[in-house]
Amino acid sequence: MTEDFVALTLDEYAERAGRTDRRPNDRALSFPLLGLFGEAGGLLSEAKKKQRDEAAYLGYAEGVTEELGDVLWYLAAVLRRARLALSDVGAVALGRPYERGSHESLSFHDLLPTQKRLRKSPIPAFAKTLLALAGDIGTLVSECESGALPKQSAELAIRLASVLAHLMRAADESGVSLEAAAVKNLHKIEDRWPTKRIYPDAFDADEDPEEQLPRRMVIDVYEREVRGQTYVFQRSEGVYVGDRLTDNAREPDDYRFHDVFHYAYVAVLGWSPVIRALLRLKRKSDPKVDEAEDGARAILIEEGITTWIFGQAQQLRLFEGFQRDGLPLDLLKHVREFVAGYEVERCPLWLWEEAILQGYAAFRFLKDSRRGRVTIDFKNRRLRIKDIPA
């Protein structure tokens, strides 16, 4: 017996979206209005990309769905600061008179009870609707800056209902379900800014213990000069780990310490084909897993991610001063795209952020001290570093 489908209400969406508002006590409308304007521009960008590269641009439907959800999020943020209910504004968008607190059960399905099929490319009417949407929001931004924004709840609700009406029309013309956009948006924000952080099990939890990544491991990382060349060496319990390393670059950038990023992946994500190869922990007992998840291609993917993130980090002071929830969302989304098709794709974005920030904290320590004792602590999902005792 299947469970009855329960439609997502507008107020339920607004309440769940509000949990991820990074500025919950800010009552000014300027910030979310600017965000709303920016996301409307993102929608226009999706339409433009498809018109420019109709055959090559395959992410149109997914992109429109995501951008619609982002516009909804900022609209909900504006309403929250204005102390207006999304359901009341939705009712006005449907042509009903404004009445505070009378539409709590209004759902996204009620907004678009009949839905056109998803279109493979935008139609002229869609672009015109998006321009009208951006125009309405732009006027609100201008009025907010000049202090001319309506002060009365009813008048402001009617203005914002016009924005929602354009959004409903855009969804209908593109064939994208507004409810699907809202649900996808909730999944995205929970993936990035969860209300509760629950660490997933290790990927190799059910594997042979002799093929599991280490749950705890201590590695001494230090520099040593050999025949006039400075190398980084790594030792664990008196045994050398991997090869001695240099920066492999024209200009020194201390990438020689980059294995600490792989250790962070082990400690936080419970994943690293690179470290599996170094420690000879490939899952040979399962040939398919060994080839697909622990093979040369997976190793190249991990090294590629690590190098790409390093390039981004160099532009952001190696993430110094970045706190939890501070890494750019686009950076984390690109990482997810890198690992698509591999087991680590299942790791949420917030967990990737923890791995990256912990890895770079250790890297900055090594960059300054030139040596350090690294501890992988998978039980507590921590990568720790301290001075090597004399």
What does the pLDDT look like over 257-271, one tens digit per residue? 999 999 999 999 999
Residue 371 parent element (H or E): strand 371-377
Q: What is the pLDDT of residue 74?
A: 96
Q: What is the pLDDT of residue 11?
A: 96
Within a 10 A sphere around the Cβ of 182, how many other Cβ atoms? Answer: 26
Q: What is the pLDDT of residue 121?
A: 57
In the predicted model, what is the mean pLDDT of residues 185-202? 94
Average pLDDT over the chain reads: 90
Angle at 9 between CA 5 and CA 10, to 5 degrees: 155
Give yes or no for a contact between 270 and 348, defined as CB atoms under 8 angstroms apart: no
On the question of pLDDT at 232 being above 90, the answer is yes
Give yes or no for a contact between 112 and 39, defined as CB atoms under 8 angstroms apart: no
Give yes or no for a contact between 71 and 40, defined as CB atoms under 8 angstroms apart: yes
Q: Is 233 helix (H, G, I), strand (E, B) or coil?
A: strand
Q: Where are the domains of the chain?
A: 10-192, 209-386
Q: What is the pLDDT of residue 23?
A: 80
Q: Which two tokens stand for residue 295?
A: 């093979």
What does the pLDDT look like over 241-258, one tens digit per residue? 988 888 777 788 999 999
Write the CB contacts of 157 (distance below 8 Å, at least 6 apart in sequence): 84, 88, 89, 92, 98
What does the pLDDT look like over 119-170, one tens digit per residue? 555 567 888 898 999 999 999 999 999 999 998 889 999 999 999 999 999 9
What does the pLDDT look like over 59-94, one tens digit per residue? 567 888 899 999 999 999 999 999 999 999 999 999
On the question of pLDDT at 1 being above 50, the answer is no
Buried b / exposed e over 344-366, threshold 16 CB at 10 Å, is: beebbbbbbbbbbbbbbbbbbbb
pLDDT band at 118 (very low <50, low <70, confident <90, very high): low
What residues are paired with 230 via a beta bridge? 225
pLDDT band at 376 (very low <50, low <70, confident <90, very high): very high
Give yes or no for a contact between 379 and 268, defined as CB atoms under 8 angstroms apart: no
In the predicted model, what is the mean pLDDT of residues 302-325? 96
Phi-psi sector, 199: left (phi>0), alpha (psi -120 to 50), beta: beta
What residues are paired with 222 via a beta bridge? 233, 371
Q: Does domain 10-192 have CATH number 1.10.4080.10?
A: no
Q: What is the pTM of this model?
A: 0.88
Q: Using CB atoms within 10 A of its CB, is residue 9 exposed (0-12), middle (13-18) or buried (19+)? A: buried
Within a 10 A sphere around the Cβ of 324, how many other Cβ atoms? Answer: 11
Express as a percent the part of the chain with pLDDT over 90: 73
What residues are paired with 376 via a beta bridge? 217, 383
Give the CA count within 13 Å in the CB-facing half-sphere of 224: 9
Q: What is the pLDDT of residue 2?
A: 46
Helix H, strand E, coil C: the string for 28-79 is CCHHHHHHHHHHHHHHHHHHHHHHHCCCCCCCHHHHHHHHHHHHHHHHHHHH
The gap between the terminal CA atoms of the chain, to the nearest Å, is: 67
Of the spans 55-59, 142-146, 355-359, which averages the highest pLDDT?
355-359
CA 259 → CA 41, 127, 311, 383, distances in Å? 40, 48, 15, 12
CA 94 → CA 85, 87, 131, 158, 360, distances in Å? 15, 11, 20, 11, 50
